[in-house]
Amino acid sequence: MKDNLPKIDDINLLAGAKSEYKDNSFRNSAPEIIEIFDNCIANQIEEMPFSDSLKFLVRDKQIIPENLLIPILKNNISAIVTHFTESPSYAEAGKRSELIVIIAEELNEAQWKNILTAFFDNNQLCDSWDCRSNFRKLFEKYLKLNNKSVQPVRLPFRKKLNKLNGSIINNFKQLIDSHLTPEQKNKLNNEL
């Protein structure tokens, strides 16, 4: 079926058409037509350089079929981390942090450190409400990956969170604190 697809060079046109079709079809959308859209989008993404597809992934990731999205992200972890750390606005920080949450299982220690450092070094990240919410989701995944324990190397990050306020941050602090060992809590309290 993939070989018989029409050639449409504008991925934005494809994404818009798929979205409009889904919105206007309500419950009567035909899975075969959605599959055609998905295959056309997949072809376009496979043909474009990752730097171009990354812009699209950030903006319109819900349009991309998940079976295509996850492998693309997993094959480009470093580029996604860099793209996130360089977020130029609150809105971009929120959107880019969604991708970080998706790839959390694939991050190595250096990438974790880079992400956590950037959170405080780039005000667009730590001041973005969406990014803050996504960071809580990121830490929930982190806790699952680490048997619900906070590694000692994460304590400096938790300490820096004390400089921030707001309900999202306070809930985030509580999430981390609820998984600290008594020794970690003492160390954190003694350093405050």
* Residue 61, pLDDT score: 67
The size of the chain, in residues, is: 192
* Residue 9, pLDDT score: 63
Gap between the terminal Cα atoms of the chain: 62
* Residue 11, pLDDT score: 76
Distances 96 to 40, 135, 184 between C-alpha atoms, Å: 24, 11, 31
Please state the pTM of the whole predicted model: 0.80
What single-letter DSSP state applies at residue 127?
A: T
pLDDT by 10-residue block (mean), the chain, 192 residues = 57 79 72 82 80 72 73 90 96 93 94 96 96 95 91 92 92 94 89 67
* Residue 25, pLDDT score: 65
* Residue 3, pLDDT score: 54
> In angstroms, rounded to a whole number, what is the distance separating the alpha carbons of residues 33 and 31?
5
